Homo-oligomer: A and B are copies of this chain.
Amino acid sequence: MVSVAITEDRIDDWIFDVPRNPDAGAELLFTGLVRDSEKGEHIRALVYEHYAGMAEKELERIGREVIGRFGIHGLHCIHRVGSIPVGEAAIVVLVRSKHRDAAFKAMSRFMDELKKTVPVWKIGFESTGG
């Protein structure tokens, strides 16, 4: 099972409201956060844009691909866009599986592929001071 979403709202401490399989032995939650510097400059926030429609489709495609490849139970992802302050989450991904190895591999591949093909861009940042 795959679910994906893109939002301009805050997604910190996001809870995916999806039931677990009774034979789920591993759950892995990844949170990608906005760091306090970008290209050596101290920043206050990062601004993300996305290609609405395609970004969701592409996230879902990659999600399905890793489910098939690693036999995990499910992958759920929410990506925030717009202006994201430092320290807040840009992405939260949940993977559930029977065993932990598959969860680790699926999460790692999902993030690697996302960073190659999903049409989301950091288009600027708000710097501190000045």
Count, chain A residues at interface, CB 8 A: 26
Given contacts A29-B29, A32-B100, contact A22 B107 (CB under 8 A): no
The answer on a CB contact under 8 Å between A26 and B22 is no
**Per-residue contact bits, chain A 85-108, to B (CB 8 Å; 1 contact, 0 not):** 011000000000010100110011
Say yes or no for A31: interface residue by CB 8 A criterion: yes
- Residues of B near A30 (CB, < 8 A) are 26-29, 100, 103
A33 in contact (CB, < 8 A): yes
Chain B residue nearest in CB terms to A115:
B100
Known: A23-B37, A27-B30. 12 other contacts (CB 8 A): A22-B35, A24-B33, A24-B35, A24-B87, A27-B31, A28-B28, A28-B29, A28-B30, A28-B31, A29-B29, A29-B30, A104-B104
